[in-house]
């Protein structure tokens, strides 16, 4: 997907410091943080949103879910953290490449 900013970050055509990377995901800091710690876990595979998941994505999404605590603890969030996946315009999604927000480090904004 050539016009996707996260795809461009994944392929390194747009630079962004990586806090973590493996064969399936990258983790970067959110450009507009909503908490002291606010990172994005981004699959390297372009999937527009949760609505676009198929059977072929089960292993990838399992991997994403399993590494979230590792990512959070690596950011010093040992007392807890929040994860958010915005889906679609009505769900607050602004970049249409599936990603998970990990937030923490103090009082978090309510919903």
List, by residue number, the catalytic residues: 99
CA triplet 20, 22, 23: central angle to 5 degrees?
155
Distance CA(39)–CA(30), nearest Å, equals 5
- The beta strand positions in the chain, using DSSP E, are 20-21, 25-29, 37-43, 82-84, 100-104
Distance CA(49)–CA(12), nearest Å, equals 21
Nearest to 53 by CA among 35, 62, 17: 62
């Amino acid at each position: 997907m050539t016009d996707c900013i996260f795809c461009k970050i994944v392929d390194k055509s747009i630079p962004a410091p990586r806090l973590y990377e493996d064969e399936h995901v990258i983790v970067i800091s959110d450009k507009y943080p909503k908490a002291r710690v606010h990172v994005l876990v981004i699959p390297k595979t372009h999937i527009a949103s949760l609505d676009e998941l198929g059977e072929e994505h089960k292993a990838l999404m399992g991997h994403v879910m399993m590494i979230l605590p590792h990512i959070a603890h690596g950011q010093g969030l040992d007392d807890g953290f929040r994860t958010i996946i915005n889906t679609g315009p009505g769900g607050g999604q602004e970049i249409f490449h599936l990603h998970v927000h990990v937030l923490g480090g103090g009082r978090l904004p309510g919903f």
